[in-house]
Structure 1
Amino acid sequence: MLELTSSEISRWVASYLWVLFRIGAVLMTMPVLGTQLLPMRIRLYLALALTILIAPQVPVVPTLDALSLATWVIIAEQILIGAAMGFLLQLLFQIHVLAGQVIAMQMGLGFASMNDPSMGISVAVISQVFTMLVTLLFLAMNGHLVVIEVLAESFTTLPVGQSLVAADFLTLVQRFSWVLAASLLIGLPAVTALLIVNLSFGVMMRAAPQLNIFSIGFPLTLVFGLFILWVLLGNVLGQYHELAAEALIWLREMVGAR
Protein backbone atom coordinates (compact mmCIF):
# COMPACT_ATOMS: atom_id res chain seq x y z
CA MET A 1 0.00 0.00 0.00
CA LEU A 2 1.36 3.40 -0.99
CA GLU A 3 1.76 5.77 1.92
CA LEU A 4 2.61 9.45 1.52
CA THR A 5 3.99 11.54 4.30
CA SER A 6 3.06 15.16 4.89
CA SER A 7 6.41 16.39 3.56
CA GLU A 8 6.06 14.37 0.36
CA ILE A 9 2.57 15.74 -0.25
CA SER A 10 3.79 19.29 0.35
CA ARG A 11 6.68 18.79 -2.08
CA TRP A 12 4.33 17.38 -4.72
CA VAL A 13 1.94 20.32 -4.28
CA ALA A 14 4.83 22.80 -4.52
CA SER A 15 6.28 21.22 -7.66
CA TYR A 16 3.18 20.72 -9.78
CA LEU A 17 -0.11 22.05 -8.45
CA TRP A 18 0.95 25.69 -8.09
CA VAL A 19 2.35 25.61 -11.61
CA LEU A 20 -0.88 24.04 -12.83
CA PHE A 21 -3.00 26.82 -11.30
CA ARG A 22 -1.10 29.57 -13.13
CA ILE A 23 -1.07 27.72 -16.45
CA GLY A 24 -4.73 26.77 -16.14
CA ALA A 25 -5.74 30.35 -15.35
CA VAL A 26 -3.98 31.58 -18.50
CA LEU A 27 -5.57 28.92 -20.71
CA MET A 28 -9.03 29.63 -19.31
CA THR A 29 -8.88 33.39 -19.92
CA MET A 30 -6.68 33.95 -22.98
CA PRO A 31 -8.25 34.40 -26.44
CA VAL A 32 -8.65 31.49 -28.87
CA LEU A 33 -7.58 28.76 -26.42
CA GLY A 34 -9.67 30.15 -23.57
CA THR A 35 -12.90 30.57 -25.53
CA GLN A 36 -15.93 28.31 -25.76
CA LEU A 37 -14.73 27.10 -29.15
CA LEU A 38 -12.29 24.79 -27.33
CA PRO A 39 -13.96 22.28 -24.98
CA MET A 40 -13.12 22.53 -21.28
CA ARG A 41 -11.71 19.01 -21.28
CA ILE A 42 -9.22 19.84 -24.06
CA ARG A 43 -8.07 22.95 -22.18
CA LEU A 44 -7.57 20.88 -19.04
CA TYR A 45 -5.52 18.27 -20.91
CA LEU A 46 -3.42 21.03 -22.48
CA ALA A 47 -2.84 22.61 -19.06
CA LEU A 48 -1.73 19.26 -17.64
CA ALA A 49 0.62 18.66 -20.57
CA LEU A 50 2.21 22.10 -20.21
CA THR A 51 2.54 21.58 -16.45
CA ILE A 52 4.40 18.30 -16.96
CA LEU A 53 6.78 20.04 -19.38
CA ILE A 54 7.34 23.26 -17.41
CA ALA A 55 7.27 22.07 -13.79
CA PRO A 56 10.69 20.31 -13.86
CA GLN A 57 12.29 23.57 -15.09
CA VAL A 58 10.71 25.78 -12.42
CA PRO A 59 13.17 27.08 -9.79
CA VAL A 60 12.91 25.97 -6.18
CA VAL A 61 9.53 26.87 -4.73
CA PRO A 62 8.65 27.15 -1.03
CA THR A 63 7.46 23.95 0.61
CA LEU A 64 4.42 24.54 2.80
CA ASP A 65 1.74 22.48 4.44
CA ALA A 66 -0.85 21.51 1.85
CA LEU A 67 -3.74 22.68 4.05
CA SER A 68 -2.17 25.80 5.50
CA LEU A 69 -3.42 29.33 4.87
CA ALA A 70 -0.16 30.31 3.14
CA THR A 71 -0.77 27.57 0.54
CA TRP A 72 -4.20 28.95 -0.32
CA VAL A 73 -2.74 32.46 -0.57
CA ILE A 74 -0.14 31.25 -3.07
CA ILE A 75 -2.84 29.43 -5.06
CA ALA A 76 -4.87 32.65 -5.25
CA GLU A 77 -1.74 34.55 -6.39
CA GLN A 78 -1.06 32.06 -9.18
CA ILE A 79 -4.66 32.27 -10.40
CA LEU A 80 -4.49 36.07 -10.29
CA ILE A 81 -1.25 36.16 -12.27
CA GLY A 82 -2.58 33.78 -14.93
CA ALA A 83 -5.92 35.58 -15.20
CA ALA A 84 -4.16 38.94 -15.55
CA MET A 85 -2.01 37.60 -18.39
CA GLY A 86 -5.04 36.19 -20.19
CA PHE A 87 -7.05 39.37 -19.64
CA LEU A 88 -4.28 41.50 -21.15
CA LEU A 89 -4.40 39.35 -24.29
CA GLN A 90 -8.19 39.67 -24.40
CA LEU A 91 -7.77 43.45 -24.71
CA LEU A 92 -6.02 42.92 -28.05
CA PHE A 93 -9.12 41.20 -29.43
CA GLN A 94 -11.58 43.62 -27.86
CA ILE A 95 -9.90 46.48 -29.74
CA HIS A 96 -11.14 45.08 -33.03
CA VAL A 97 -14.54 44.12 -31.60
CA LEU A 98 -15.09 47.70 -30.43
CA ALA A 99 -13.86 49.07 -33.76
CA GLY A 100 -16.34 46.84 -35.57
CA GLN A 101 -19.16 48.09 -33.34
CA VAL A 102 -18.29 51.72 -34.13
CA ILE A 103 -18.17 51.08 -37.88
CA ALA A 104 -21.41 49.05 -37.83
CA MET A 105 -23.30 51.79 -35.99
CA GLN A 106 -22.11 54.41 -38.47
CA MET A 107 -23.06 52.43 -41.58
CA GLY A 108 -26.46 51.36 -40.25
CA LEU A 109 -25.65 47.74 -39.41
CA GLY A 110 -25.75 48.16 -35.68
CA PHE A 111 -29.00 46.19 -35.53
CA ALA A 112 -27.51 43.30 -37.57
CA SER A 113 -26.01 41.09 -34.89
CA MET A 114 -25.11 37.43 -34.67
CA ASN A 115 -24.03 35.08 -31.92
CA ASP A 116 -20.31 35.06 -31.16
CA PRO A 117 -19.47 31.39 -30.41
CA SER A 118 -16.21 32.33 -28.70
CA MET A 119 -17.86 34.54 -26.07
CA GLY A 120 -21.46 33.35 -26.13
CA ILE A 121 -22.97 36.80 -26.70
CA SER A 122 -24.46 38.67 -29.66
CA VAL A 123 -22.19 41.15 -31.43
CA ALA A 124 -22.45 43.15 -34.63
CA VAL A 125 -21.68 41.33 -37.85
CA ILE A 126 -18.76 43.66 -38.58
CA SER A 127 -17.30 42.91 -35.15
CA GLN A 128 -17.61 39.19 -35.86
CA VAL A 129 -15.71 39.62 -39.13
CA PHE A 130 -12.93 41.47 -37.30
CA THR A 131 -12.86 38.81 -34.58
CA MET A 132 -12.45 35.95 -37.06
CA LEU A 133 -9.77 37.88 -38.95
CA VAL A 134 -7.80 38.69 -35.79
CA THR A 135 -8.08 35.08 -34.60
CA LEU A 136 -6.60 33.80 -37.85
CA LEU A 137 -3.80 36.38 -37.71
CA PHE A 138 -3.07 35.51 -34.07
CA LEU A 139 -2.64 31.83 -34.96
CA ALA A 140 -0.79 32.47 -38.23
CA MET A 141 1.77 34.70 -36.50
CA ASN A 142 2.29 32.11 -33.72
CA GLY A 143 0.86 34.36 -31.04
CA HIS A 144 -0.18 31.34 -28.96
CA LEU A 145 3.40 30.05 -28.98
CA VAL A 146 4.71 33.43 -27.80
CA VAL A 147 2.19 33.38 -24.95
CA ILE A 148 3.34 29.90 -23.88
CA GLU A 149 6.97 31.07 -24.03
CA VAL A 150 6.22 34.10 -21.83
CA LEU A 151 4.24 31.86 -19.48
CA ALA A 152 7.22 29.52 -19.07
CA GLU A 153 9.56 32.48 -18.48
CA SER A 154 7.20 33.95 -15.88
CA PHE A 155 8.06 31.15 -13.43
CA THR A 156 11.65 32.43 -13.45
CA THR A 157 11.01 36.18 -13.51
CA LEU A 158 7.95 35.99 -11.22
CA PRO A 159 8.59 32.81 -9.19
CA VAL A 160 6.01 31.02 -7.11
CA GLY A 161 5.83 32.44 -3.62
CA GLN A 162 7.02 35.92 -4.51
CA SER A 163 4.79 38.67 -3.16
CA LEU A 164 2.71 40.42 -5.77
CA VAL A 165 3.29 44.08 -6.51
CA ALA A 166 -0.03 45.87 -6.96
CA ALA A 167 1.55 48.47 -9.26
CA ASP A 168 2.33 45.78 -11.83
CA PHE A 169 -1.33 44.89 -12.17
CA LEU A 170 -2.64 48.43 -12.00
CA THR A 171 -1.29 48.79 -15.53
CA LEU A 172 -4.24 46.65 -16.69
CA VAL A 173 -6.59 49.47 -15.73
CA GLN A 174 -4.49 51.92 -17.75
CA ARG A 175 -4.77 49.66 -20.84
CA PHE A 176 -8.48 50.45 -21.16
CA SER A 177 -7.59 53.88 -22.52
CA TRP A 178 -5.26 52.15 -24.98
CA VAL A 179 -8.13 49.90 -26.13
CA LEU A 180 -10.42 52.86 -26.73
CA ALA A 181 -7.76 54.89 -28.56
CA ALA A 182 -6.70 51.97 -30.76
CA SER A 183 -10.33 51.15 -31.61
CA LEU A 184 -10.98 54.73 -32.67
CA LEU A 185 -7.82 54.78 -34.79
CA ILE A 186 -8.93 51.61 -36.61
CA GLY A 187 -12.48 52.80 -37.19
CA LEU A 188 -11.75 56.51 -37.73
CA PRO A 189 -11.17 56.30 -41.54
CA ALA A 190 -14.44 54.44 -42.07
CA VAL A 191 -16.38 56.69 -39.68
CA THR A 192 -15.01 59.84 -41.35
CA ALA A 193 -15.84 58.59 -44.85
CA LEU A 194 -19.37 57.58 -43.84
CA LEU A 195 -19.87 60.92 -42.12
CA ILE A 196 -19.02 62.68 -45.38
CA VAL A 197 -21.53 60.45 -47.19
CA ASN A 198 -24.26 61.28 -44.67
CA LEU A 199 -23.48 65.00 -44.93
CA SER A 200 -23.79 64.73 -48.71
CA PHE A 201 -27.22 63.16 -48.35
CA GLY A 202 -28.19 65.96 -45.97
CA VAL A 203 -27.21 68.56 -48.56
CA MET A 204 -29.19 66.67 -51.22
CA MET A 205 -32.26 66.58 -49.01
CA ARG A 206 -31.91 70.30 -48.34
CA ALA A 207 -31.63 71.05 -52.05
CA ALA A 208 -34.49 68.75 -53.06
CA PRO A 209 -36.98 68.34 -50.17
CA GLN A 210 -39.27 66.19 -52.27
CA LEU A 211 -36.58 63.54 -52.52
CA ASN A 212 -37.20 60.58 -50.21
CA ILE A 213 -33.75 60.50 -48.68
CA PHE A 214 -34.51 57.58 -46.35
CA SER A 215 -35.35 55.15 -49.16
CA ILE A 216 -32.23 56.19 -51.10
CA GLY A 217 -29.73 57.08 -48.40
CA PHE A 218 -29.96 53.91 -46.31
CA PRO A 219 -29.06 51.38 -49.05
CA LEU A 220 -26.40 53.71 -50.46
CA THR A 221 -24.87 54.13 -46.99
CA LEU A 222 -24.68 50.35 -46.69
CA VAL A 223 -23.03 50.01 -50.09
CA PHE A 224 -20.51 52.76 -49.36
CA GLY A 225 -19.89 51.26 -45.93
CA LEU A 226 -19.09 47.84 -47.35
CA PHE A 227 -16.78 49.40 -49.94
CA ILE A 228 -14.98 51.42 -47.26
CA LEU A 229 -14.71 48.31 -45.09
CA TRP A 230 -13.15 46.44 -48.02
CA VAL A 231 -10.58 49.20 -48.45
CA LEU A 232 -9.96 49.31 -44.70
CA LEU A 233 -9.22 45.59 -44.49
CA GLY A 234 -6.29 46.07 -46.86
CA ASN A 235 -4.27 47.68 -44.07
CA VAL A 236 -5.44 45.50 -41.19
CA LEU A 237 -2.27 43.36 -41.20
CA GLY A 238 0.03 46.29 -40.44
CA GLN A 239 -2.29 47.63 -37.75
CA TYR A 240 -2.64 44.22 -36.13
CA HIS A 241 1.13 43.65 -36.17
CA GLU A 242 1.76 46.90 -34.29
CA LEU A 243 -1.01 46.29 -31.74
CA ALA A 244 -0.03 42.66 -31.17
CA ALA A 245 3.63 43.57 -30.71
CA GLU A 246 2.69 46.24 -28.17
CA ALA A 247 0.36 43.88 -26.28
CA LEU A 248 3.00 41.13 -26.10
CA ILE A 249 5.62 43.63 -24.91
CA TRP A 250 3.27 44.71 -22.12
CA LEU A 251 2.68 41.05 -21.28
CA ARG A 252 6.41 40.50 -20.89
CA GLU A 253 6.79 43.65 -18.82
CA MET A 254 3.97 42.61 -16.50
CA VAL A 255 5.71 39.35 -15.53
CA GLY A 256 9.20 40.82 -15.77
CA ALA A 257 10.25 38.72 -18.78
CA ARG A 258 12.68 40.10 -21.35
Structure 2
Amino acid sequence: MIDIDFLPQTGFVFMLVFSRLGTMIMLMPALGEASIPPRVRLIFALLITGVMMPLVSGSFGTIPQTVPGLAIAVIFEVAIGLFVGLSARIVMSALQVAGNIIAMQMGLSFAQTVDPTQGTQGVIVSTFFSMVAVTLIFATNLDHLLIAAMRDSYDLFKPGQALPVGDFSQMAVKAVSGAFKLGVQLSAPLVVFGLVFYVGIGILSRLMPQIQIFFITVPANIGFGFALLFLILGAMMSWFLQGFEQSMTVFVH
Protein backbone atom coordinates (compact mmCIF):
# COMPACT_ATOMS: atom_id res chain seq x y z
CA MET A 1 0.00 0.00 0.00
CA ILE A 2 1.35 3.42 -0.95
CA ASP A 3 1.90 5.81 1.92
CA ILE A 4 0.47 9.23 1.07
CA ASP A 5 0.69 10.77 4.53
CA PHE A 6 3.36 13.15 3.25
CA LEU A 7 1.01 14.85 0.77
CA PRO A 8 -0.60 17.39 3.15
CA GLN A 9 2.80 18.60 4.36
CA THR A 10 4.17 18.71 0.81
CA GLY A 11 1.15 20.64 -0.43
CA PHE A 12 1.45 23.06 2.49
CA VAL A 13 5.14 23.72 1.76
CA PHE A 14 4.50 24.12 -1.98
CA MET A 15 1.73 26.64 -1.33
CA LEU A 16 3.91 28.76 0.96
CA VAL A 17 6.96 28.62 -1.31
CA PHE A 18 4.82 29.60 -4.28
CA SER A 19 3.26 32.45 -2.28
CA ARG A 20 6.68 33.97 -1.61
CA LEU A 21 8.48 33.24 -4.88
CA GLY A 22 5.46 33.96 -7.08
CA THR A 23 5.08 37.38 -5.50
CA MET A 24 8.78 38.11 -6.00
CA ILE A 25 8.71 37.07 -9.65
CA MET A 26 5.69 39.23 -10.40
CA LEU A 27 7.56 42.29 -9.10
CA MET A 28 11.24 41.71 -9.86
CA PRO A 29 12.83 43.48 -12.84
CA ALA A 30 13.74 41.37 -15.87
CA LEU A 31 11.76 38.38 -14.54
CA GLY A 32 8.42 40.07 -13.94
CA GLU A 33 8.17 42.78 -16.58
CA ALA A 34 4.71 43.89 -17.67
CA SER A 35 5.59 43.02 -21.27
CA ILE A 36 5.84 39.32 -20.32
CA PRO A 37 2.40 37.66 -20.51
CA PRO A 38 0.96 36.81 -17.05
CA ARG A 39 0.60 33.17 -18.06
CA VAL A 40 4.31 32.93 -18.85
CA ARG A 41 5.21 34.54 -15.53
CA LEU A 42 2.88 32.14 -13.72
CA ILE A 43 4.45 29.11 -15.39
CA PHE A 44 7.92 30.41 -14.58
CA ALA A 45 6.90 30.95 -10.95
CA LEU A 46 5.59 27.37 -10.73
CA LEU A 47 8.82 26.02 -12.23
CA ILE A 48 10.99 28.03 -9.84
CA THR A 49 8.82 26.86 -6.94
CA GLY A 50 9.29 23.23 -7.96
CA VAL A 51 13.07 23.71 -8.13
CA MET A 52 13.36 25.68 -4.89
CA MET A 53 11.00 23.60 -2.75
CA PRO A 54 13.43 20.71 -2.05
CA LEU A 55 16.09 23.26 -1.06
CA VAL A 56 13.97 25.20 1.43
CA SER A 57 11.46 22.62 2.67
CA GLY A 58 13.53 22.05 5.81
CA SER A 59 12.81 25.64 6.90
CA PHE A 60 9.11 24.94 7.35
CA GLY A 61 7.47 23.55 10.45
CA THR A 62 4.29 21.53 10.78
CA ILE A 63 0.99 22.46 9.16
CA PRO A 64 -1.12 24.91 11.19
CA GLN A 65 -4.26 23.15 12.40
CA THR A 66 -6.60 26.10 11.89
CA VAL A 67 -7.71 28.08 8.85
CA PRO A 68 -6.58 31.42 10.40
CA GLY A 69 -3.17 29.86 11.02
CA LEU A 70 -2.88 28.84 7.37
CA ALA A 71 -4.04 32.28 6.22
CA ILE A 72 -1.51 34.05 8.44
CA ALA A 73 1.31 31.82 7.14
CA VAL A 74 0.38 32.66 3.53
CA ILE A 75 0.07 36.38 4.29
CA PHE A 76 3.51 36.41 5.92
CA GLU A 77 5.08 34.72 2.88
CA VAL A 78 3.37 37.11 0.47
CA ALA A 79 4.55 40.08 2.57
CA ILE A 80 8.16 38.86 2.42
CA GLY A 81 7.86 38.34 -1.34
CA LEU A 82 6.45 41.84 -1.72
CA PHE A 83 9.31 43.34 0.25
CA VAL A 84 12.11 41.60 -1.67
CA GLY A 85 10.45 42.11 -5.06
CA LEU A 86 9.69 45.78 -4.44
CA SER A 87 13.25 46.35 -3.19
CA ALA A 88 14.54 45.24 -6.59
CA ARG A 89 11.85 47.18 -8.45
CA ILE A 90 12.64 50.37 -6.52
CA VAL A 91 16.22 50.25 -7.80
CA MET A 92 14.85 50.25 -11.35
CA SER A 93 13.00 53.46 -10.54
CA ALA A 94 16.40 55.19 -10.50
CA LEU A 95 16.26 54.98 -14.29
CA GLN A 96 12.88 56.71 -14.26
CA VAL A 97 14.33 59.51 -12.14
CA ALA A 98 17.37 59.87 -14.40
CA GLY A 99 15.28 59.69 -17.55
CA ASN A 100 12.85 62.38 -16.40
CA ILE A 101 15.67 64.73 -15.36
CA ILE A 102 17.52 64.21 -18.64
CA ALA A 103 14.34 64.62 -20.71
CA MET A 104 13.56 67.87 -18.91
CA GLN A 105 17.10 69.09 -19.50
CA MET A 106 16.98 68.24 -23.21
CA GLY A 107 13.48 69.57 -23.81
CA LEU A 108 11.96 66.13 -24.38
CA SER A 109 9.52 66.06 -21.47
CA PHE A 110 6.54 65.94 -23.83
CA ALA A 111 8.00 63.10 -25.93
CA GLN A 112 6.26 60.18 -24.23
CA THR A 113 5.68 56.56 -25.11
CA VAL A 114 4.50 53.36 -23.46
CA ASP A 115 7.19 51.73 -21.34
CA PRO A 116 6.96 47.97 -22.05
CA THR A 117 8.85 47.12 -18.86
CA GLN A 118 6.44 49.05 -16.64
CA GLY A 119 3.25 48.89 -18.65
CA THR A 120 2.73 52.62 -18.17
CA GLN A 121 3.36 55.78 -20.17
CA GLY A 122 6.62 57.63 -19.58
CA VAL A 123 9.12 59.90 -21.24
CA ILE A 124 10.96 58.31 -24.12
CA VAL A 125 14.36 58.61 -22.42
CA SER A 126 13.18 56.65 -19.36
CA THR A 127 11.67 53.98 -21.60
CA PHE A 128 14.95 53.64 -23.48
CA PHE A 129 16.93 53.35 -20.24
CA SER A 130 14.57 50.69 -18.87
CA MET A 131 14.80 48.54 -22.00
CA VAL A 132 18.59 48.79 -22.09
CA ALA A 133 18.83 47.95 -18.37
CA VAL A 134 16.64 44.84 -18.67
CA THR A 135 18.70 43.66 -21.64
CA LEU A 136 21.96 44.18 -19.74
CA ILE A 137 20.64 42.40 -16.64
CA PHE A 138 20.26 39.25 -18.74
CA ALA A 139 23.48 39.87 -20.69
CA THR A 140 25.56 40.20 -17.51
CA ASN A 141 23.83 37.27 -15.73
CA LEU A 142 22.48 39.49 -12.97
CA ASP A 143 19.22 37.57 -13.32
CA HIS A 144 21.08 34.77 -11.52
CA LEU A 145 21.52 37.17 -8.62
CA LEU A 146 17.75 37.63 -8.48
CA ILE A 147 17.24 33.87 -8.28
CA ALA A 148 19.92 33.63 -5.58
CA ALA A 149 18.07 36.32 -3.63
CA MET A 150 14.94 34.18 -3.78
CA ARG A 151 16.78 31.22 -2.30
CA ASP A 152 18.69 33.15 0.36
CA SER A 153 15.58 35.02 1.47
CA TYR A 154 14.74 31.87 3.43
CA ASP A 155 17.91 32.35 5.46
CA LEU A 156 17.10 36.00 6.19
CA PHE A 157 13.35 35.64 6.74
CA LYS A 158 12.60 32.18 8.03
CA PRO A 159 9.04 30.90 7.60
CA GLY A 160 6.86 30.93 10.67
CA GLN A 161 8.69 33.78 12.39
CA ALA A 162 7.26 37.22 13.07
CA LEU A 163 7.78 39.75 10.31
CA PRO A 164 10.65 42.18 11.06
CA VAL A 165 8.52 45.24 10.39
CA GLY A 166 11.14 47.62 11.79
CA ASP A 167 13.84 46.20 9.51
CA PHE A 168 11.46 46.32 6.57
CA SER A 169 10.80 50.02 7.19
CA GLN A 170 14.48 50.91 7.51
CA MET A 171 15.43 48.98 4.38
CA ALA A 172 12.54 50.49 2.41
CA VAL A 173 13.60 54.03 3.32
CA LYS A 174 17.20 53.19 2.43
CA ALA A 175 16.14 51.66 -0.90
CA VAL A 176 14.04 54.67 -1.91
CA SER A 177 16.72 57.20 -0.94
CA GLY A 178 19.39 55.10 -2.66
CA ALA A 179 17.35 54.88 -5.87
CA PHE A 180 16.80 58.64 -5.92
CA LYS A 181 20.49 59.26 -5.28
CA LEU A 182 21.46 56.84 -8.05
CA GLY A 183 19.05 58.51 -10.47
CA VAL A 184 20.52 61.94 -9.78
CA GLN A 185 24.05 60.56 -10.19
CA LEU A 186 23.16 59.00 -13.55
CA SER A 187 21.71 62.26 -14.84
CA ALA A 188 24.48 64.50 -13.44
CA PRO A 189 26.51 64.81 -16.69
CA LEU A 190 23.45 66.03 -18.61
CA VAL A 191 22.55 68.44 -15.80
CA VAL A 192 26.04 69.96 -15.96
CA PHE A 193 25.78 70.13 -19.75
CA GLY A 194 22.45 71.95 -19.45
CA LEU A 195 23.85 74.52 -17.05
CA VAL A 196 26.86 75.22 -19.28
CA PHE A 197 24.71 75.28 -22.42
CA TYR A 198 22.16 77.75 -21.11
CA VAL A 199 24.84 79.99 -19.60
CA GLY A 200 26.53 80.04 -23.00
CA ILE A 201 23.24 80.81 -24.74
CA GLY A 202 22.59 83.63 -22.28
CA ILE A 203 25.99 85.16 -22.94
CA LEU A 204 25.49 84.80 -26.70
CA SER A 205 22.11 86.52 -26.56
CA ARG A 206 23.67 89.46 -24.71
CA LEU A 207 26.56 89.75 -27.15
CA MET A 208 24.44 89.33 -30.29
CA PRO A 209 20.85 90.36 -29.49
CA GLN A 210 19.87 90.32 -33.17
CA ILE A 211 20.14 86.51 -33.28
CA GLN A 212 16.89 84.54 -32.84
CA ILE A 213 18.15 82.50 -29.89
CA PHE A 214 15.00 80.40 -29.58
CA PHE A 215 15.39 78.88 -33.05
CA ILE A 216 18.99 77.96 -32.26
CA THR A 217 18.56 76.77 -28.69
CA VAL A 218 15.98 74.00 -29.15
CA PRO A 219 17.65 71.97 -31.93
CA ALA A 220 21.13 72.59 -30.54
CA ASN A 221 20.06 71.47 -27.06
CA ILE A 222 18.51 68.27 -28.38
CA GLY A 223 21.36 67.52 -30.77
CA PHE A 224 24.21 68.10 -28.33
CA GLY A 225 22.21 66.38 -25.59
CA PHE A 226 21.78 63.20 -27.63
CA ALA A 227 25.44 63.26 -28.65
CA LEU A 228 26.56 63.51 -25.02
CA LEU A 229 24.01 60.92 -23.89
CA PHE A 230 25.25 58.28 -26.30
CA LEU A 231 28.86 59.06 -25.44
CA ILE A 232 28.29 58.37 -21.75
CA LEU A 233 25.56 55.71 -22.07
CA GLY A 234 27.98 52.84 -21.47
CA ALA A 235 29.34 54.41 -18.29
CA MET A 236 25.81 55.23 -17.09
CA MET A 237 24.57 51.66 -17.52
CA SER A 238 27.72 50.27 -15.90
CA TRP A 239 27.15 52.54 -12.90
CA PHE A 240 23.50 51.48 -12.72
CA LEU A 241 24.32 47.76 -12.90
CA GLN A 242 26.85 48.22 -10.11
CA GLY A 243 24.22 49.90 -7.94
CA PHE A 244 21.66 47.21 -8.82
CA GLU A 245 24.08 44.45 -7.88
CA GLN A 246 24.93 46.11 -4.57
CA SER A 247 21.26 46.49 -3.69
CA MET A 248 20.52 42.82 -4.37
CA THR A 249 23.54 41.45 -2.53
CA VAL A 250 21.78 42.54 0.68
CA PHE A 251 19.57 39.48 0.22
CA VAL A 252 22.34 37.12 -0.92
CA HIS A 253 24.86 35.36 1.31
What is the TM-score normalised by the length of structure 2?
0.91
Give the SS at the match of 2:113. strand
* Alpha-carbon distance in structure 2 between the residues aligned to 1:228 and 1:56: 50
Instruction: Write the mapping of 1:1-258 to structure 2, written as runs, cut at 5 A.
Output: 9=8, 11-58=9-56, 59-65=58-64, 68-170=67-169, 171-250=171-250, 252=251, 257-258=252-253
State the shift of 1:141 in Å: 1.5
- The code of the aligned residue for 1:15 comes to V
Give the SS at the match of 1:119. coil
* Alpha-carbon distance in structure 2 between the residues aligned to 1:8 and 1:187: 54
Provide closer, same or farther for how the CA distance between residues 60 and 132 of structure 1 changes in structure 2, counting only shifts above 3 A.
closer
* Alpha-carbon distance in structure 2 between the residues aligned to 1:185 and 1:22: 33
* Alpha-carbon distance in structure 2 between the residues aligned to 1:117 and 1:154: 28
* Alpha-carbon distance in structure 1 between the residues aligned to 2:28 and 2:149: 13
Give the SS at the match of 1:114. strand
- The code of the aligned residue for 1:132 comes to M
CA contact (8 A) 2:19 2:78 kept: yes
Give the SS at the match of 1:110. coil
Give the SS at the match of 2:163. coil
* Alpha-carbon distance in structure 1 between the residues aligned to 2:216 and 2:59: 70
Give the SS at the match of 2:126. helix
- The code of the aligned residue for 1:150 comes to A
CA contact (8 A) 1:14 1:62 kept: no
Sequence identity percentage:
27
* Alpha-carbon distance in structure 2 between the residues aligned to 1:60 and 1:210: 76
* Alpha-carbon distance in structure 2 between the residues aligned to 1:37 and 1:221: 32
CA offsets 1:74-107 (integer angstroms, 9 cap, x no match): 1111111111111111122111121011011011
Give the SS at the match of 2:121. strand
- The code of the aligned residue for 2:69 comes to A
State the shift of 1:193 in Å: 1.0
RMSD: 2.0
State the shift of 1:223 in Å: 0.9
* Alpha-carbon distance in structure 2 between the residues aligned to 1:100 and 1:55: 39
- The code of the aligned residue for 2:14 comes to Y
- In structure 1, runs of 5+ residues without a counterpart are none
CA offsets 1:49-75 (integer angstroms, 9 cap, x no match): 111121122214222346521211111
State the shift of 1:214 in Å: 0.7
Provide closer, same or farther for how the CA distance between residues 17 and 92 of structure 1 changes in structure 2, counting only shifts above 3 A.
same
